[in-house]
Structure 1
Amino acid sequence: MQLRQSERKRAKIKMALQGSAGSGKTYSSLLLAQGLTNGDFTKIAIIDTENGSADLYAHLGQYNVLTLTPPFTPENYMKAIDVCEKARMEVIIIDSISHCWDYLLDYHASLAGNSFTNWAKITPMQKSFTDRILQCDAHVIATMRTKQDYVLNQKDGKYIPEKVGLKAVQKDGLDYEFTIVFDIDIKHFAVSSKDRTGLFMNKPEFIINSATGKKILEWCNSGTNLQDARNKIKECTNLEDLKVLYNQYAQWRELLEYNFKQQKDAITSQQHLLNPQNFRNNGSIHYQS
């Protein structure tokens, strides 16, 4: 048993695309996969649960299709992932994982007994499915359908339903498991609602293309040695050099934020000690308020 420094090595991206019907999730997924494979469609597999929609874009290239039919159990999804992984696919598109959640909801409704306690039978099935995606030795792009969500707000003594945005047809919180989540609207514009890479967060909406996938691939393959980055931060002796590194490692700020803060405090403290105005005539330190 041994501790080690955290490090990201040639990551396999796990990402999700969520949008309503007609938003272009399947097409966008294929373009992302094209970039992730450097244009080699033979290394792309689509697990299709959408009645053959995966074949609509065969003109793009010779990608592989695995048609999944009901029942859409977590076990059948996992078997499909196994098939793709054994075939050494570099990108697996699961289009979509919403059918799995629909199945689990129906299964839960069919169980006799207490509805609340019956979730103890459903949760392990969902977790196994999620873990299989996250542990897959390939890039995974999962699509999720969305529907308009509503809340009841009280107004003039009456409860009135109000729109609060789109909600993915999947277990609440599943989006937190992915490295990147793109929300796609009906005009095919995408924004990132979750992004651990730092590549797309807080950026204007855009239309996904193969260059987007290429950009993600470069991030995956950069495999920055975080220890080297931390060492460079620690070696900084002035705030100007530290700022240069802060901009250089923009995509890893979430992982290095503490190191930047720690070194900034150390440099600021050192500069304070070396400031002649902070010494009294007898050499003792004088801290200015």
Structure 2
Amino acid sequence: MQLRKSSKKQAKIKLALQGCAGSGKTYSALLLAYGLCGDWTKIAVIDSENNSADLYAHLGQYNVLPLEGKYDPETYIDAIKVCEKAGMEVIIIDSMSQCWDNLLEYHACLPGNSFTNWQKVTPRMTSLIQMILGVNCHVISTMRCKQDYVLSEKNGKMVPEKVGLKAVMRDGIDYEYTIVFDINMKHQAVAS
């Protein structure tokens, strides 16, 4: 261990966007990515959302890496390595929720004690998080939210409104990111 003076470094942001379906996570991630690097060709989208990244091709010539049904942490790690090796400045992971769902399914199928079986799951997710934190690129991760409906008054009438409750992701994941934005159905982001 060695004590040193603080110094401002060229940090790479690790940002998470969480919201309900239709809140604008992918579109927002692309706009933020362009704002970070100013060059569409230096942006890569790791796409686990059925090619939804291609919906915004009119924005610019960014790169897309479809995961095609393989949502385990090791596939995500390999995809990040491909993007880094290709010289990408911003990597968008759209979405991290499929990876977590994959691990939950894996955990549910393991024989034996459910509590001790987390020892087989947690290190895999931790490896992915460490890869995201260690990669020399900006990373924007999108996460789906569990959703519900609440009644809101509009023009004197009660109408249902979709709201996001909690990201479909491991508890405490927001501590790993530089910043986390919750995006509502009006496409407004709030730092959480």
Please give the per-residue CA displacement for 1:186-238, whole angstroms capped at 9, x wherever unaligned.
Answer: 11011111xxxxxxxxxxxxxxxxxxxxxxxxxxxxxxxxxxxxxxxxxxxxx
In the aligned structure 1, how far is the partner of 2:45 from the partner of 2:73? 16
Specify every segment of 5 or more residues in structure 2 that has no aligned partner in the other structure, as ranges. 149-162
Matched, 1:69 2:75: no
Q: Which amino acid aligns with 2:84?
A: E
Matched, 1:33 2:33: yes
Q: Which residue of 2 aligns with 1:23?
A: 23
In the aligned structure 1, how far is the partner of 2:43 from the partner of 2:15? 15
Q: Which residue of 2 aligns with 1:225?
A: none
In the aligned structure 1, how far is the partner of 2:103 from the partner of 2:164? 24
SS in 2 for 1:148: strand
Task: Using the TM superposition, give the Cα deviation of residue 2 of structure 1 relative to its aligned residue in structure 2, in angstroms.
Answer: 2.3
Q: Which amino acid aligns with 1:33?
A: A
Task: Using the TM superposition, give the Cα deviation of residue 5 of structure 1 relative to its aligned residue in structure 2, in angstroms.
Answer: 2.1
Specify every segment of 5 or more residues in structure 1 that has no aligned partner in the other structure, as ranges. 150-163, 194-289
Q: Which residue of 2 aligns with 1:119?
A: 118
**Higher RCO (Cα < 8 Å, 6 or more apart):** 2
- So what's the TM-score if we normalise by structure 2? 0.90
In the aligned structure 1, how far is the partner of 2:164 from the partner of 2:73? 28
How much is the aligned-residue C-alpha RMSD, in angstroms?
1.3
Task: Using the TM superposition, give the Cα deviation of residue 7 of structure 1 relative to its aligned residue in structure 2, in angstroms.
Answer: 2.7
Q: Which residue of 2 aligns with 1:43?
A: 42
SS in 1 for 2:180: strand
Q: Which residue of 2 aligns with 1:78?
A: 77
Higher helix share: 1
Larger Rg: 1
Q: Is the 8 A contact 2:164 2:184 kept in 1?
A: no
Q: Which residue of 2 aligns with 1:136?
A: 135
In the aligned structure 1, how far is the partner of 2:175 from the partner of 2:67? 25
Task: Using the TM superposition, give the Cα deviation of residue 166 of structure 1 relative to its aligned residue in structure 2, in angstroms.
Answer: 1.1
- So what's the TM-score if we normalise by structure 1? 0.60
SS in 1 for 2:70: coil
In the aligned structure 2, how far is the partner of 1:60 from the partner of 1:95? 17
In the aligned structure 1, how far is the partner of 2:179 from the partner of 2:164? 19
SS in 1 for 2:87: coil
In the aligned structure 2, how far is the partner of 1:27 from the partner of 1:148? 19
In the aligned structure 2, how far is the partner of 1:168 from the partner of 1:17? 9
Count of residues in correspondence between the two structures: 178
In the aligned structure 2, how far is the partner of 1:148 from the partner of 1:32? 24
Task: Using the TM superposition, give the Cα deviation of residue 8 of structure 1 relative to its aligned residue in structure 2, in angstroms.
Answer: 3.2
Q: Determine what percentage of the aligned residue pairs are the same residue.
A: 70
SS in 2 for 1:93: strand
Higher strand share: 2
